[in-house]
């Protein structure tokens, strides 16, 4: 943009060059302006409103909260209610819910990586014409309905479900195992639903790997597993980070999986927020819950964004 201005300034008066440069500048502003304004209005501003409402108090009204800013009789009053945050800090249940969410998401992300990395590796190793087919196979489930795929596990995991019937038929267990409505079911659900988001960035990263480095390691006498741990794995760190963030961050705020597969022990924060909002109609408390969740997640989100920017920058140069 700056060199456009310089170009415009160097031309004397209103030469055609300057008119063109100005037109291009304003054209660009116009083009960029539409998505920019959309995101500002519908992505950034809503967060500021959540902040505002988290400082109000719940009321039986429409909308069900008090106003923070009031102008009456030439007096501008700000009523900042810290009650919601104090309430959250006071009640053990909310702290537990945050810790449970982070723990469940971390463990599930770990298992996702454990299964996803070898899958991505095998895909990247496959011959070229098979790769696109394998990629489609991995991604296809995520194009069907998320809700229905979680629902499928309800039928498999429940007490008289398919898994228990199979295990009993084989004689491995005498009585059905309680799997549905436990944390194990939540782990299975998260790994199942988010696996493609783990495989995709790692696969994309591994296909860009410079094969000559592996050959060099091989020629210099590296054992295959050594080559893998000392060359391939460190080089694919970008994909691993992106994949883990794509699984971990949404999993922390997951609502559907703990609701359908989890039990009383898997009280995740997304579910708590949902209940405060829809069942108790306490919008300010739900906003405070969302703000704290966002505070916890802003570090990983910033990390993810930086990774994205870095990738973008690398491809630009």
Partner 1 sequence: MILSTETGTERTNAPGRIKMPGFSTIMLILGLIFLYLPMFILVLYSFNASRLVTVWAGFSTQWYVELFQDEQLMGAVWISLRIAFYTASMAVILGTVSAFALDRFGKFRGRTAFNSMLTAPLVMPDVITGLSLLLLFVTMADLVGWPMERGMLTIWIAHVTFSTAYVAVVVGARLREVDRSIEEAAMDLGATPLRTFFLITIPTIAPSLAAGWLLAFTLSLDDLVIASFVSGPGSTTLPMVVFSSVRLGISPKINAMATLIILVVSLAALFGWWFMRRSERERRASLERFGTS
In angstroms, what is the minimal distance from the CB of 56 to partner 1? 11
By CB under 8 A, what part of segment 252-271 binds partner 1? 252-256, 259-260, 270
**CA 205/CA 124 separation, integer angstroms:** 9
Please, which residues bridge with residue 270 across strands? none
By CB under 8 A, what part of segment 104-123 binds partner 1? 115-116, 118-119, 121-123
| Exposure of 277 in the CB half-sphere (CA atoms within 13 A) | 15
Q: Is residue 13 helix, strand or coil?
A: coil
Please report whether residue 27 would count as binding partner 1 according to CB under 8 A.
Answer: yes
By CB under 8 A, what part of segment 73-102 binds partner 1? none
Among 245, 257, 261, 285, binds partner 1 (CB under 8 A): 245
In angstroms, what is the minimal distance from the CB of 217 to partner 1? 10
**CA 153/CA 110 separation, integer angstroms:** 20
In angstroms, what is the minimal distance from the CB of 127 to partner 1? 4
With 0-12 CB in 10 A as exposed, 13-18 as middle and 19+ as buried, what is 58? buried
| Identity of the residue, 182 or 289, whose beta carbon is nearer to partner 1 in the bound complex | 289
Quick count: other Cβ atoms within 10 Å of Cβ 275?
Answer: 15
Q: Are 70 and 77 in contact (CB under 8 A)?
A: yes
- Kindly state the number of chain residues that form the binding site for partner 1, as judged by CB under 8 A: 106
With 0-12 CB in 10 A as exposed, 13-18 as middle and 19+ as buried, what is 284? buried
Dihedral sign from CA coordinates of 8, 10, 14, 20:
negative
By CB under 8 A, what part of segment 180-239 binds partner 1? 192, 195, 199, 211-212, 215, 218, 223-225, 228
By CB under 8 A, what part of segment 142-181 binds partner 1? 143-149, 151-156, 158, 160-162, 165
Q: Are 225 and 177 in contact (CB under 8 A)?
A: no
Binding segment toward partner 1, per CB under 8 A, in 49-57, 73-81, 90-98, 177-185: 49-57
| Identity of the residue, 79 or 125, whose beta carbon is nearer to partner 1 in the bound complex | 125
In angstroms, what is the minimal distance from the CB of 261 to partner 1? 11
Among 43, 71, 72, 169, binds partner 1 (CB under 8 A): 43
- Reading the block at residue 32, the tokens are 């960029």
In angstroms, what is the minimal distance from the CB of 14 to partner 1? 19
| Exposure of 174 in the CB half-sphere (CA atoms within 13 A) | 0
Q: Where are the alpha helices (DSSP H) in 40-145?
A: 45-54, 83-90, 92-125, 128-143
Among 110, 238, 274, 281, binds partner 1 (CB under 8 A): 274
Please, which residues bridge with residue 74 across strands? none
- Reading the block at residue 84, the tokens are 């919601």
Among 47, 89, 173, 216, binds partner 1 (CB under 8 A): 47
| Identity of the residue, 75 or 148, whose beta carbon is nearer to partner 1 in the bound complex | 148
Binding segment toward partner 1, per CB under 8 A, in 5-13, 80-88, 131-139, 177-185: 131-139
């Amino acid at each position: 943009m700056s060199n456009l201005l310089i170009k415009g300034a160097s031309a004397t008066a209103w030469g055609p060059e300057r008119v063109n440069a100005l037109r291009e500048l304003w054209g660009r502003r116009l083009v960029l302006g539409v998505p920019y304004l959309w995101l500002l209005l519908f992505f950034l501003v809503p967060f500021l409103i959540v902040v505002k409402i988290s400082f109000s108090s719940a009321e039986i009204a429409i909308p069900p909260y008090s106003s923070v800013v009031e102008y009456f009789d030439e007096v501008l009053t700000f009523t900042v209610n810290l009650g919601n945050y104090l309430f959250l800090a006071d009640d053990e249940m909310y702290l537990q819910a945050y810790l449970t969410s982070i723990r469940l998401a971390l463990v599930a992300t770990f298992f996702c990586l454990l299964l996803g990395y070898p899958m991505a590796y095998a895909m990247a190793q496959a011959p070229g014409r098979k790769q696109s087919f394998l990629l489609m196979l991995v991604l296809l489930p995520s194009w069907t309905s998320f809700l229905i795929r979680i629902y499928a596990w309800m039928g498999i995991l429940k007490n008289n479900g398919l898994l228990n019937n199979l295990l009993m038929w084989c004689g491995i267990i005498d009585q059905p195992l309680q799997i549905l409505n436990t944390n194990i079911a939540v782990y299975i659900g998260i790994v199942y639903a988010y696996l493609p988001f783990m495989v995709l960035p790692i696969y994309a990263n591994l296909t860009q790997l410079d094969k000559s480095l592996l050959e060099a390691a091989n020629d210099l006498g590296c054992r295959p597993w050594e080559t893998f741990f000392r060359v391939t794995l460190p080089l694919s760190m970008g994909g691993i980070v992106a994949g883990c963030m794509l699984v971990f961050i949404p999993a922390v705020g997951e609502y559907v999986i703990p609701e359908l597969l989890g039990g009383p022990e898997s009280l995740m924060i997304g579910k708590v927020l949902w209940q405060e909002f829809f069942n108790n109609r306490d919008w300010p408390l739900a906003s405070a819950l969302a703000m704290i969740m966002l505070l916890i997640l802003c570090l990983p989100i910033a990390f993810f964004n930086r990774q994205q920017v870095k990738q973008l920058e690398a491809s630009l140069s």
